[in-house]
Structure 1
Amino acid sequence: MRVGILQADSVLPQFQKEHGDYPDMFCRILGDAGLGIEFETYAVVNGEYPINPDACDGYVITGSKKSVYDDEPWIKDLSDYIRQLHGRRKKMVGICFGHQLVAHLLGGKTEAASQGWGVGIHQSRIVQKKDFMDPAVEDFGLIVSHRDQVTELPVGAQLLAASEFCPNAMFVIDDHILALQGHPEFTREYALELMQMRAELLGVNILHAGIESLQHELHSDMVSNWIVRFIAGDPA
């Protein structure tokens, strides 16, 4: 199975030596599923795309520090490509920015949420179970790092998971789009460094709560296995 990573941002240079770039993170966490996945990275932020959408079995759209409503040429180009993949019913998984962009493009709404920044490990409850979500659980914890969020689901979306902070934390559209607000690719160590770097932006209360939350249970491996099963073709 070949997975294309549509890279919408890069890890800051000072963090790359220890944590790698975003494609490295996804290769690590999705590769642990043990299915012999081949990865191909396309830096869409720099205008790089597959010559043929069928070059990969599925695509992962990464997070980004940009907002989906920013007036950036590369975001417009990525939006056009997502519409093309959607028209072909090509498997897509949107993470954070990717999750928000898919919703924004397909009839939903993404905006800066009144709740402000969400950081650290957030618990989401399952509201609908799909076959690829194995093992069956009632809730799961993922690292989050976002100010924008999906406030209205796109047309045809089915909500799969919600949290108190982010009511639209995970959804599917038919059997070819999966979107998650959380970051299964982030480690606790990387999340901590991000929060510390953004201390002034976050404020004392959000920063301290985010750091304390890193003690909570994390289900990155489980959710990553869900992603792999989804791309591989387990029914949604």
Structure 2
Amino acid sequence: MKIGLLQCDDVAQPLIERHGSYPDMIQTLLRSVDPEVELQVFACHEGRIPDRTDGFDGWLTTGSKYGANDDADWIASLERFIRTLWQAHQPLVGICFGHQLMAKALGGRVERSVNGWGLGAYPVTLSQQEPWMSPWDSPTLELLASHQDQVAELPPQGRILAHSGFCPIYMMQVGDVFLGIQGHPEFSRAYLEDLLELRRTGVSAERILAARHSLRQPVNDLLVGRWILNFIRSRCGAATAP
């Protein structure tokens, strides 16, 4: 399987030596499920937007410190490319910022959460079971999170797959080929722990403490990594991940 990775940010410089880049994290996650997955990285945040949609089984968009509503040329260009993928019926999975930009590009709405920062691990409820959600362990899901914005209104053809009181549109499917996930299956606990330390000046001490405490909980990172590959394979006609 060959996936085009739409990179939307860099890991903060103090953390990159220990934790690697966002493409490194994505590759580690996906190759833990399927060692033969191949990624081609496009540094969209540096203005390097793909000029074609063919040659890939699917696409994946990373998270970012930027917001989907930010006024930046590369974000507008990436929105246009997302619409091109939609028109070409190419599978796309968006993570965090990628989930939000997918919604905005297709006519949904993204807003700053009135609940403040979503940090650490928090449980969400799966609204329905899809064929690509295999294996199915539980009607609840838990991933690491780090976000202020979230999808406030689905785009046309969108439907909610997972939700919580904190984040009502946590996972969505748009049509047959787009999947958005607010959480970060690629993050490690160690990375989020260090990221929380960097964010001490912008987040309340109570929220940081609660996020640190939540990191003791098990998360479904590998399960969601498997679901991502299953989703893309099911859209390009291949079998689900072993």
User: What is the TM-score of this pair, normalised by structure 2?
Assistant: 0.94
* Structure 1 residue 85 displacement after superposition: 0.4
* Structure 1 residue 193 displacement after superposition: 0.7
Q: Distance in 2 between matches of 1:175 and 1:133?
A: 14
Paired letter, 2:99: H
Superposed counterparts of 1:77-92, under 5 Å = 77-92=77-92
Q: Distance in 2 between matches of 1:218 and 1:149?
A: 20
Paired letter, 1:125: T
Paired letter, 2:11: V
Map of 1:220 onto structure 2: 221
Q: Distance in 2 between matches of 1:112 and 1:174?
A: 25
Map of 1:154 onto structure 2: 155
Is the partner of 1:196 in helix, strand or coil?
A: helix
Structure 2 gap ranges (5+): 238-242
Superposed counterparts of 1:1-236, under 5 Å = 1-34=1-34, 36-136=36-136, 137-233=138-234
Is the partner of 1:172 in helix, strand or coil?
A: strand
Q: Distance in 1 between matches of 2:73 and 2:106?
A: 19
Q: Distance in 1 between matches of 2:198 and 2:174?
A: 35
Q: Distance in 2 between matches of 1:143 and 1:88?
A: 32
* Structure 1 residue 204 displacement after superposition: 0.9
Paired letter, 1:19: H
Tell me how large the CA RMSD over aligned residues is.
1.2
* Structure 1 residue 52 displacement after superposition: 2.3
Contact 2:49 2:77 in 1 (8 A): no
Q: Distance in 1 between matches of 2:161 and 2:169?
A: 8
* Structure 1 residue 55 displacement after superposition: 2.3
Q: Distance in 1 between matches of 2:108 and 2:202?
A: 28
Residue-pair matches, total: 235
* Structure 1 residue 3 displacement after superposition: 0.5
Paired letter, 1:94: G
Is the partner of 2:202 in helix, strand or coil?
A: helix
Question: Which piece of structure 1 moves more, 215-224 or 131-140?
Answer: 131-140
Deviations 1:163-182 (A, max 9, x none): 12101000101221000000
Q: Distance in 2 between matches of 1:51 and 1:199?
A: 39
Paired letter, 1:142: L
Contact 2:80 2:105 in 1 (8 A): no
Paired letter, 1:185: E
Contact 2:185 2:222 in 1 (8 A): yes
Paired letter, 1:121: A
Is the partner of 2:3 in helix, strand or coil?
A: strand
Identity level (%): 38
* Structure 1 residue 35 displacement after superposition: 5.5
User: What is the TM-score of this pair, normalised by structure 1?
Assistant: 0.97
Paired letter, 1:93: V
Q: Distance in 2 between matches of 1:10 and 1:92?
A: 21
Structure 1 gap ranges (5+): none
Contact 2:146 2:183 in 1 (8 A): yes
